[in-house]
Amino acid sequence: MKGEKRNMKQLKKLSKILLASSTCLALTACGGDSGKSEEHIDAKEKFGCNVLNVYNAGEYIGEDVISTFEKKYNARVNYDTFESNEIMYTKLLGGSSYDVIVPSDYMIERMISEDMLQPLNKEQMKNEKDLNPAVVQTRESFDPDGVYSMPYFWGTVGLVYNKEVVDADTIKKEGWEVLKDTNYKGDIYFYDSQRDGFMIAFKALGYSMNTDDENQIQDAYQWLREMNDTMEPAYVTDEVIDGMANGEKAIAVMYSGDAAYVLSENPDMDWIEPDQGTNKWLDGMVIPKNASCSGLANEFINYMTSYDIQLANSEYVGYTPVRKDVEDYLAGEDGDYFENKAYAPRTDGKNDETFHYSEKLTKQLSDLWNKVKIQ
């Protein structure tokens, strides 16, 4: 999940978003792909309920998206946020009830396997036909045929680097191994995540990031220990965004959406997805089995994949939309991310993978990750 707190990022973009005339938010009741329509629907009359409980990551939705939906459907949305997939999952196990939640790929896979989700109503998913084919292909890896989930945002993990400090040919040649290049000792931000930390080590060693081979796991642990002991990395989460925008380090492990923001703020920064492979992630919208307003939940999910809402979300949050037409606009000459390398994830990385859930591996990597960071 990539939607943790990015307050500075949002504040810096806010003035531009408020001036944007390309979206209909706060001006019209944009809904499905016919976002230009002024049609209003009474949720209580059509679906038998008009209160929707939504659970999403923090700072992961555009301004006015919720209020516009409420006006269009004469409904009320109770919107809660979480800091991680695991916190969200634990809350659901504790009995909390939501109509729409937005987990990551591996967590969706887990929830499907544990019979926690209900199938989407495909008749209401009128915008599904407009999804980026690459996004649909990614979804197939954890939700075959898209029975339970609708994509929300997607992206990759890669390296942001200062072109004035790091040679482009060097970082392309070394890939993830540049994080062990002593020329950059003390000049690296490493994302504080066991999942992505081990992904980097696995990929640097030529392994699958979903491996359960004990020898490969130990090889990855030793790779990370050596990196930690020789490179003096700064372990960070959201602070990496402003840190790299301000040019405080030479290299940083970053999510593509955050990297796109950094590149837009600092022309000295560049982006690379190492050839060894990376995490190709996807966050999606799902409906828990105990949802109390399923009809309106399906309508909300379709609304979130309309052109106008995808545009508003991507402009505000900075991550890549799941509709190709919106991505093409924002990456085009008139868009916010024209010629921004990090904005559109690559689709031809032969070594890229999506995480799969493994309770055993998750626990093992958590224990090892804590050991990695012991100085």
CATH class of the domain at 7-154+282-331 = alpha beta
pLDDT band with cut points at 50, 70 and 90 for residue 19 = very low
CATH class of the domain at 155-280+344-372 = alpha beta
pLDDT at 39: 79
Residue 142 has pLDDT above 50, yes or no: yes
Residue 77 has pLDDT above 80, yes or no: yes
Helix, strand, coil % in the chain, rounded to nearest 5: 45, 15, 40
pLDDT at 38: 58
For residue 8, count CB atoms less than 10 angstroms from its CB and return exposed for 0-12, middle for 13-18, buried for 19 or more. Answer: middle
Q: In which element (H, E) is residue 53 found?
A: strand 51-57
Please give the model's pTM, rounded to 2 decimal places. 0.90
Q: How far is CA 199 from CA 18, 157, 274, 334, in A?
A: 38, 10, 12, 35
**Domain ranges across the chain:** 7-154+282-331, 155-280+344-372
Retrieve residue 74's tokens: 């004469």
pLDDT at 2: 55
For residue 95, count CB atoms less than 10 angstroms from its CB and return exposed for 0-12, middle for 13-18, buried for 19 or more. Answer: exposed
Residue 257 has pLDDT above 50, yes or no: yes
Question: What's the mean pLDDT in 309-321?
Answer: 95
What value does the mean pLDDT of the chain take?
Answer: 91
Return the SS3 of 326: helix
pLDDT digits (tens, 9 = 90+) for 98-113: 999 999 999 999 999 9
